[in-house]
Amino acid sequence: MLRLILQEACLLPMADLRFNDSIMSALFLSDKIKSLHPQYQKFLQEEVYPIELHIITHPFRQSLPVLQKLRTKAKEQKLWAPHLSEHDGGPGLTMVEFAQISELLGTSPLGHYIFNCNAPDIGNMELMHQFASAELKEKYLKPLMNGDIRSCFAMTEPAFAGSNPIDMGTTAVREGDHYIINGHKWFTTAADGAAFTIVMALTDPHNASPYLRASMIIVPLDNPGYQLIRNIPIMGDAGEDYMSHGEVKFTNCKVPVTNLIGEEGKGFALAQARLGPGRIHHCMRWIGICERAFDLMCQRAVARKLRDDKVLAHQQMIQFWIAESRAEINAARLMVLHTADAMEKEGAKAVKNEISTIKFFVADVLMKVLDRAIQIHGALGITDDTLLSFWYRHERGARIYDGPDEVHKTSLAKSILKKYIS
């Protein structure tokens, strides 16, 4: 009987189970999402889920023609770039609506790339929309939104603690109408094959305020002063193309001063503006991964036979993992949607604590759900025969990038405790 109930509950197509079963997201369902969500879902089920495992387990470049075809199809079906306004060729979603689509796309490692809303491009698009000059928008933002080029973001350096992005060694010295950039960066995600990077560099290293020392500058990557040293292997996987993490060098790299984004010396403020929505995007993508891992977990639990006509799902420990995962994913989703809603209404500054909360909380849920899903699969879980090991390797960074857990927890606790200090 238990077996039957579990089979009925868990062997439904993954995305149906998630969407219909989710009381949490129903709280935030708009008419637009009711209409768009099934279209993205159909696209993923028909075009993406069948090929994703093959693509992520083979050299990525081999699959670019196939992926390009899917990107064209996404455009034809008017599903392209769900984060963009209608004016820019997207559906014009609110942050809450985009969060729900982002979750769905997160159920595949290829979802965000195919629909042109993957990091770091999405963060760079948002940044340029808000702060870049009309000339930079025409030259870099337009082709980026159209998917003709890719971009990257170079802030972190091997020689400085990236958790505190005000410390860095890269400099941009003004000479006439140009900046001359020198420095060494790493973890420049998607540097391999990108057309340009936004680099964070010190333009006023001796300013009394450490928050006014750096600026953000666009560097086209065919510049002779730029070098991609290597794609850094992540847990054994060097990655390629948009799945790469580059170690890069700038040596007397000369770019026009008009490549500056926003005002000189405001790089830190721009970084904060870029990271707020970026963290919400990551969290929704992680919830998508959790749902997929949860689905795999349930499928395996009911399918894996033990002795005496029992399956894994009959074991109480496995039931606990399934129940705990369900509760944690639901909680995470509600927290993220609430934060997205509040950010839209009150602005990024007002939800700083909420963003810190979801950043470490959802990353932790992601790790737990992936780990349980792998454990339930036994040896199969650590092979590349399911998506789980790919995500386990690639998403361990979730607790580190865009602010490590410890930094967010400290910041949240300090803000709470302030109210208790008279």
Min dist. Cβ of residue 161 to ligand FAD (A) = 3
DSSP string, 258-300: GGEESSTT-HHHHHHHHHHHHHHHHHHHHHHHHHHHHHHHHHH
Nearest CA-CA partner of 361 in 417, 272, 286, 294:
286
Q: How far is the CB of 142 from ligand FAD (least distance, A)?
A: 22
- Please identify, using beta-carbon distances, which residue of 274 and 292 lies nearer to ligand FAD: 274
Strands 226-231 and 214-220: unpaired
Nearer to ligand FAD, 344 or 402 (CB): 402
Angstrom CA distances, 312 to 304, 367, 377, stand at: 6, 21, 10
User: Which residue's CB is nearer to ligand FAD, number 144 or number 301?
Assistant: 144
Query: Dihedral of CA 161/163/165/166: which sign?
Result: negative
User: Would you count residue 410 as binding ligand FAD (CB under 6 A)?
Assistant: yes
Query: Residues 311, 305: contact at Cβ < 8 Å?
Result: yes
- Nearest residue (CB) to ligand FAD, 66 versus 407: 407
- The residue nearest ligand FAD at its CB is 162
Rounded least distance, CB 283 to ligand FAD, Å: 15
- Rounded distance between C-alpha atoms, residue 119 and residue 97, angstroms: 18
Q: Residue 35, Cβ neighbours under 10 Å: how many?
A: 10
Report the distance separating Cα 9 and Cα 78, nearest Å.
33
* Residue 253: both structure tokens together: 């790299």
Report whether 249 contacts 229 (CB < 8 A): yes
- Per CB under 6 A, the segment of 30-38, 281-289, 307-315, 401-409 that binds ligand FAD is 401-409
Segment contacting ligand FAD by CB under 6 A, of 187-195, 284-292, 295-303, 352-360: 187-195
Give the range of 3-11, 335-343, 350-358, 398-406 binding ligand FAD by CB under 6 A.
Answer: 398-406
Do 359 and 287 meet the contact criterion of CB atoms below 8 Å apart? no
Minimum Å distance from CB 98 to ligand FAD?
Answer: 20
State which of residues 90, 106, 109, 120 lies at the interface with ligand FAD (CB under 6 A): 120
Residue 154 is a binding residue for ligand FAD (CB under 6 A): yes
Residue 116 Cβ vs ligand FAD, minimum distance, rounded to whole Å? 17
Single-letter code of the amino acid located at 147: G
- How many chain residues bind ligand FAD (CB under 6 A)? 19
* Among residues 42, 406, 413, 416, the one that binds ligand FAD under rule CB under 6 A: 406
Task: Pick out residues in 194-253 that bind ligand FAD (CB under 6 A).
Answer: 245
- Considering the complex, what minimum distance in angstroms separates the CB of residue 36 from ligand FAD? 29
Distance CA 156, CA 170 (A): 10
The binder of ligand FAD chosen from 156, 203, 339, 357 (CB under 6 A): 156
Binding to ligand FAD in span 161-180, by CB under 6 A: 161-163
Residue of 153, 250, 360, 391 interacting with ligand FAD (CB under 6 A): 153
CB of 183 to ligand FAD, least distance (A): 12
Least distance to ligand FAD, CB of residue 401, Å: 4
Closer residue to ligand FAD in complex, CB, 136/154: 154
- Determine which residue in the list 6, 155, 168, 293 makes contact with ligand FAD, applying CB under 6 A: 155
> CA of 351: how far to CAs of 96, 100, 333, 412, in Å?
14, 19, 16, 11
Which phi and psi (to 5°) does residue 12 adopt? -65, 155
Q: Select the span of 135-143, 158-166, 327-335, 366-374 touching ligand FAD (CB under 6 A).
A: 158-166
Q: Closest CB to ligand FAD among 163 and 207?
A: 163
Site stretch for ligand FAD (CB under 6 A), options 152-160, 257-265, 296-304, 363-371:
152-160
User: Strand 226-231 vs strand 151-154: parallel, antiparallel, or unpaired?
Assistant: unpaired
The tokens 């455009």 sit on which residue? Answer: 75
Q: Taking a C-beta distance cutoff of 8 angstroms, is the pair 151, 132 a contact?
A: no
Query: CB of 206 within 8 A of CB of 174?
Result: no
In the region spanning residues 311 to 350, those forming contacts with ligand FAD, defined by CB under 6 A, are none
Q: Should residue 187 be labelled a site residue for ligand FAD when binding is judged by CB under 6 A?
A: yes
**Which among 50-58, 124-132, 370-378, 394-402 is the span making contact with ligand FAD, rule CB under 6 A?**
394-402
Is residue 407 within the footprint of ligand FAD (CB under 6 A)? yes
375-397 core/surface letters (b: 16 or more CB in 10 A; e: else) = ebbeeebeeeebbbbbbbebbee
User: Which amino acid, residue 295?
Assistant: D
> Where along the sequence are the contacts to ligand FAD (CB under 6 A)?
120, 153-156, 161-163, 187-189, 245, 397, 400-401, 404, 406-407, 410
